[in-house]
Amino acid sequence: MALRIEKAFGRDMDHLLRMQLAYDVAKTWRRSRDVRVKQYVPA
């Protein structure tokens, strides 16, 4: 999709992907306290 946007509007695909990654990371951090994972302890 980023490649199509680059071709249509001239925006750099790398920049668009970095923006998407930053959004995804921020969204994940916001819900991180709701994620429950038991710590792995090797036997």
Digitized pLDDT (tens) for each residue of the chain, 43 residues in all: 888 888 998 888 999 999 999 999 999 999 998 999 999 999 8
> How many beta carbons lie within 10 A of that of residue 36, not counting itself?
5
Cα–Cα distance measured from residue 3 to residue 9, given in angstroms and rounded to the nearest whole number: 10
Helix or strand or coil: residue 6? helix
- What's residue 25's pLDDT? 96
Question: What's this model's pTM, rounded to 2 decimal places?
Answer: 0.64
The three-point CA angle 33-35-36 to 5° equals 110
